[in-house]
Structure 1
Amino acid sequence: MLRVDQAGEYGATRIYAGQMAVMGDRTPAARMIAGMAAQEERHRRHFDAMIAARGVRPTLLQPIWDVAGFWLGAATAAIGPEAAMACTAAIETEIDNHYREQLEQLGDSDPELSEAIAEFRAEEIEHRDQALAAGAERAPAYPVLSAAIRLGCRAAIALSKRI
């Protein structure tokens, strides 16, 4: 669980870095993204510390998530602010589902990990809701864009669990 969660938070920081590289920091959408990025960085640092403390090997796919995340962020931002928000809404929908499933699996077996996942899940849901309120569904070809990003997110989760 730690391996895939750390990989996901790392990927999120790279997506937001790509979006900010294209959008800059002067628009309301860019300022919203910067705030989300700061939270994702805090999540990543927390999981980094847990991985180190528990001796868990990070995913070997991290170099791929580094590049893929940045380019997904840059590409969606290049389409426009609504597409950048659509990316966030799609990913956070999948992360909400992923974290919910993890919490169900964990039960009472690992209070430290459960607490972190529950806290971060609440923030991911907040990100999704903010993105939807900021116009995610007005992005060009939103249903297709959202479905493709969600599929990619599920694939990244599955691969990071195993590799």
Structure 2
Amino acid sequence: MKHNLSSAAKAIATKSKHSKYLNQLVRVDQAGELAADYIYKGQLMVFKHTELKPLITHMWEQEVHHHKTFDTLQTEGRVRPSLLTPVWRIAALSLGFLTAIRGKESAMACTEAVETVIGGHYNSQLRYLLEAEMKTKEGNEGIENLKKIVSEFRDDELEHLETAVANDAHGAKPYWLLTEVIKKGCAAAIKIAERV
């Protein structure tokens, strides 16, 4: 789906009572989509000559699109990037690579854990944007476009979660420990990226 990034970026750059939140939203989502891009890049390094290549490539291509979209919003909206961007790259590439080395089930458990947290995170953002859209008289078009972007990307992330479950994520050993550690790491990264 093609989005009007200019109006969304304008809403982000315009000083309003929502400015702080919109800046955090873009900073966190850009960092998160960068991390997702690198997680799948790490997984594809392991699975590039296997039957999983098309599946991982499909999810990776969606994440690259998300990443590029938030890069554009960050630049056009004049949002400061996360100061920890190099850390996010290394951590995400390592996470993708290491879970893939452990096998298909661990890679899929990683995807399930990450996308569970991100789906919930995007839902929280959508609630805020819906409320802001209802209360804001100026800049509604920009907030509406940002809401459409977040909604579409949330749906893609939930599709990835379903794909992971359908591809033996629950077969990872130890499933519970692996997914809980990854979920807690993702939630912590979100909190850190909001501020740093």
The alignment of Structure 1 onto Structure 2 pairs a total of residues equal to: 162
* Residue of structure 1 equivalent to 2:174: 141
* CA deviation profile, 1:139-161 (whole Å, cap 9, x unmatched): 11001000000000001101000
Of 66, 80, 94, 1:43 maps to 66
* Residue of structure 2 equivalent to 1:14: 38
Give, as a single letter, the amino acid of the residue that structure 2 aligns with 1:73: G
1:59-70 maps to which residues of 2 (within 5 A)?
A: 59-70=82-93
Q: Tell me the distance in 2 between the aligned counterparts of 1:156 and 1:4.
A: 9
Does 149-158 or 108-117 show the bigger shift? 108-117
* Residue of structure 2 equivalent to 1:111: 144
Give the share of equivalent positions with the same residue, in percent.
43
Moved over 6 A (4+): none
* CA deviation profile, 1:22-48 (whole Å, cap 9, x unmatched): 222x32323211110000000011111
Aligned residues: CA RMSD: 0.9
Q: Tell me the distance in 1 between the aligned counterparts of 2:52 and 2:32.
A: 22
Q: Tell me the distance in 1 between the aligned counterparts of 2:120 and 2:150.
A: 12
* Residue of structure 2 equivalent to 1:78: 101
Q: Structure 2 length normalisation: TM-score?
A: 0.81
Q: Tell me the distance in 1 between the aligned counterparts of 2:129 and 2:51.
A: 38
Residue 50 of structure 2 is aligned to residue 27 of structure 1: yes
Q: Structure 1 length normalisation: TM-score?
A: 0.97
Give, as a single letter, the amino acid of the residue that structure 2 aligns with 1:129: E
Residue segments in structure 1 that go unaligned for 5+ positions in a row = none
Q: Tell me the distance in 2 between the aligned counterparts of 1:63 and 1:113.
A: 26
Please say which structure displays the higher CA radius of gyration: 2
* CA deviation profile, 1:28-78 (whole Å, cap 9, x unmatched): 323211110000000011111111111001101110011000000110000
Q: Tell me the distance in 1 between the aligned counterparts of 2:37 and 2:176.
A: 24
The alpha-carbon deviation at position 136 of structure 1 amounts to 0.3
Q: Tell me the distance in 2 between the aligned counterparts of 1:97 and 1:142.
A: 20
Give, as a single letter, the amino acid of the residue that structure 2 aligns with 1:22: V
* Residue of structure 2 equivalent to 1:162: 195
